[in-house]
Structure formats: C-alpha cells, structure tokens
Amino acid sequence: MRKLLFESFVRAPLTEPPPLPDDAELSRLTAALDRAARRRLGRSLSIRQVDAGSCNGCELEIHALNNAFYDLERFGIRFVASPRHADVLLVTGPVTKNMRDALERTYNATPGPKWVVAVGDCAFDGGCFADSYAIVGGVSEVVPVDLHIRGCPPNPLQLLTGLLALLEAEGAK
C-alpha cells in the first residue's frame, strides 16, 4: 500500500493534454449559428437531445457544448426539456428496439418546422453496434433525417459546424 501511494506521487498523471482552445473559431461558429437561426426562425435555436441507444460518448461531446468553455447559451442557443419546445432533434446512437417507439413519439411531438440531426457513426448506420440483435439501425430507419454529423464521437466544433450547415442549407424547411 505504501509503495502504491509513493508511486502515485511520482508518476505522471495518466491523462492526455487538453486540445488547444480555438476561441476565434468558436466565436465565429456560434455567432454565425445564432444569425442563421434568427434568419430562419426569427429567434434563437432550441435543441432537444434524444439518446436512442448510444454508448454515451456522443452525449459527453454534446454536454460539452454547455460547459464553461463552449457555453452555448450565451449565444441564445439552448437545450430544452421537451420536444414541444424544440426546433432540432439531436439524436445519438443506433436506435434500439426499446427506443424506437419513444423516438417516433418524440418526433411526432415536435412542432414544425423541425429538423432531425443524427449525431455519430452509430446514428448513421448503427456503427459498431450494427450487427446487434437489439437495434433497429440508424436513425433514418425510424424518422426522416436532415443531417448526419459523422464521427465517433464528433467533437463540439463539428457539432456546431453541422448545425450551422443545416440552417444555411439551400432548401431547408
């Protein structure tokens, strides 16, 4: 025990260095996203996140959008607790058989115009869970998807870039 304690004092921590912050890119993206949302909707963007069966890796990146560094709410973009208040459904994970009905009901409860963004490789085609007996498949197997943000998991800047591309897309609803 004493040896273990001593080693924990002299050994370097088993962590990776954090990524260098890109404040300028973050500010540019979030301001552009806010402008695009106001142009499209006349107000800021409300997002409802739905975990349809993910490993929670994608959720960690999505939650990071609300941390002190990204602080998405300072630009008026917020996560809401009900699909009835949402413009965007941000869906993660392969859709499990148990979550299929809940995802359909969440989609139906979201007022139009609405967008569905499938986040992560699993949400695209089942990813590493594709062969599981417990899943239906990617999100588009259950509800119409407007945008896929690939990655395992995609990082917060990729999420913001994807949301911006969605709002700026030609022919968006």
- Looking at the Cβ atoms of 83 and 138, the one nearer to ligand SF4 is 138
Tokens of 116: 């569905």
Q: Which residue has the tokens 């917060």?
A: 156
Write out the binding residues for ligand SF4, residues 112-141 only, by CB under 6 A: 120-122, 127-128
Contact by Cβ (8 Å): 152, 124: no
CB of 122 to ligand SF4, least distance (A): 3
Task: Report how many residues bind ligand SF4 under the rule CB under 6 A.
Answer: 13
- Looking at the Cβ atoms of 34 and 121, the one nearer to ligand SF4 is 121
| Residue 57 binds ligand SF4, judged by CB under 6 A | yes
Query: Burial letters for 23-51: b for 16+ Cβ neighbours within 10 Å, e otherwise?
Result: eeebeebbebbbebbeebeeeebbbbbbb
| Residue 49 binds ligand SF4, judged by CB under 6 A | no
Kindly write out the interface string for residues 77-106 of this chain, putting x where it contacts ligand SF4 by CB under 6 A and - elsewhere: ---------------xx-------------
- Crossing angle of helices 57-64 and 156-168, rounded to 10°: 80
- Residue 72: closest CA among 41, 45, 48, 54: 45
Binding site for ligand SF4 (CB under 6 A): 54-55, 57-58, 92-93, 120-122, 127-128, 152-153
